[in-house]
Structure 1
Amino acid sequence: MSDEYVLPRKATPDSPLRLAVMISGGGSGLRALLKHQQEADRAHVTTLVIADSESAGGLKHAMDAGVECFSVPLPREVKGAERRKAHEEQIIRIIESKDIEMIVLSGYMRILSSFFVSRWKGRLVNIHPSLLPDFPGAHAQRDALEAGV
């Protein structure tokens, strides 16, 4: 890949970017993306959701919306430093098989390696409902409002 930041193409409502959303929990950010993509002016469509746990509540939101879902937990059979790499390789295989154009990390709680991040340079975004690191956690919006931000 080039060192340049380049989206794969210009998205339009008639030809939206195909997103993979990676989650770890309840999927509040995923719900917002799914709701927004129902708007006429949207330029994205969530076509894949990957969770790092079968118990991630956001999987239900994706299934209810008809979005293809995968649960990809850390592989138990692999130990040590190779475990994370094996996990990320599984995710990469799924994403590449689905013709995904952009990845959204929405409450994804695993730190991704440079191996993974560099592969998606310019096409990987992390969304969070507050200003990090100042307002982490479940009450980020409340804490930010109380601080006057």
Structure 2
Amino acid sequence: MRTAILASGRGSNLQALIEAQRSAKLPIEIVAAGSDQFGAGALKRAKEAGIPTRVFHISDYPDRQAQEQDILIWMRENQVELLLLAGYMRVLGSQFMRQAWFPILNIHPSLLPAFPGLHAQRQALEYGVKISGCTVHFVDEGLDSGPIILQEAVPVLAEDTEEGLSQRILAVEHRLYTEAVRLVALGKVNRIGRRVQILQ
């Protein structure tokens, strides 16, 4: 599947996907990588891998809708069949979602529906949960609210800091996101409303 990735930060999940594609673990071709941040580390990683990149900084547009229309044009030009959000820190608008002709996946560092939005690991520590983890889900118009594809638990240790918990969850994210993308690309994910079935 021709795949685009949007990321806002350092791009460790993007890097994991690039490496999985290179090792033939993923039946996808990453054809483009974009960001809403000029200095995103994800762009540097993509360029080093020979992937074409684009920046869609909000200051270059009159409003968010214009920004998202440009992203859709970019995706149409690249004949994208799958969009992966990898630390993309903006919620895609309803008009974008209605026009998208491709599935959109996201990875989030909590066991959704617990702790959506920013600083999920901090939220988990402040709440005092004993188990956190990560979730790969389809993206809808809400905040981390789309149908869940895969989840994996990560225990919260008594000595955990936000940084320590984040790093342990991130290691699981890299593996779980790769597996979810593989299943989607192979047509092994069946979505019925909010229910997602993994086909054998």
TM-score by length of 2: 0.57
1:17-56 CA-partner distances (Å, limit 9, x unpaired): 1100001111111011101001234211211001001111
Matched with 2:36 is: 52
Structure 2: which 5+ residue stretches go unaligned? 126-131, 133-153, 158-168, 170-200
Looking at structure 2, the residues matched to 55 and 98 of structure 1 have their Cα atoms a distance apart, in angstroms, of 23
Looking at structure 1, the residues matched to 3 and 61 of structure 2 have their Cα atoms a distance apart, in angstroms, of 30
Matched with 1:94 is: 74
> In the alignment, which of 101, 107, 111 is matched to residue 87 of structure 2?
107
Looking at structure 1, the residues matched to 77 and 101 of structure 2 have their Cα atoms a distance apart, in angstroms, of 18
**Structure (1 or 2) with the greater helix fraction:** 2
* Matched position secondary structure for 2:4: strand
Matched with 1:70 is: 54
Looking at structure 1, the residues matched to 4 and 54 of structure 2 have their Cα atoms a distance apart, in angstroms, of 11
Q: Is the 8 A contact 1:75 1:86 kept in 2?
A: no
What is the RMSD of the two structures over their aligned residues, measured on CA atoms?
2.6
Q: Aligned pairs, how many?
A: 128
Looking at structure 2, the residues matched to 35 and 126 of structure 1 have their Cα atoms a distance apart, in angstroms, of 18
Looking at structure 1, the residues matched to 95 and 22 of structure 2 have their Cα atoms a distance apart, in angstroms, of 34
Q: Is the 8 A contact 1:23 1:51 kept in 2?
A: yes
* Matched position secondary structure for 1:42: coil
1:85 equivalent in alignment to 2:62: no
Distance 1:122 1:86, change over 3 A: closer
One-letter amino acid of the counterpart of residue 109, structure 1: M
1:147 equivalent in alignment to 2:131: no
* Matched position secondary structure for 1:99: coil
Percent identity over the alignment is: 31
Looking at structure 2, the residues matched to 75 and 90 of structure 1 have their Cα atoms a distance apart, in angstroms, of 13
Structure 1: which 5+ residue stretches go unaligned? 1-16
Distance 1:69 1:121, change over 3 A: same
Looking at structure 1, the residues matched to 120 and 40 of structure 2 have their Cα atoms a distance apart, in angstroms, of 15
Looking at structure 1, the residues matched to 10 and 101 of structure 2 have their Cα atoms a distance apart, in angstroms, of 26
Matched with 1:137 is: 119
> In the alignment, which of 23, 28, 36 is matched to residue 7 of structure 2?
23
> In the alignment, which of 103, 108, 114 is matched to residue 128 of structure 1?
108
Distance 1:129 1:46, change over 3 A: farther
Q: Is the 8 A contact 2:72 2:100 kept in 1?
A: no
Distance 1:122 1:19, change over 3 A: closer
* Matched position secondary structure for 1:50: strand
Q: Which has the higher contact order (CA 8 A, sep 6+)?
A: 1
TM-score by length of 1: 0.74
One-letter amino acid of the counterpart of residue 137, structure 1: H
**Structure (1 or 2) with the greater strand fraction:** 2
Looking at structure 2, the residues matched to 76 and 48 of structure 1 have their Cα atoms a distance apart, in angstroms, of 20
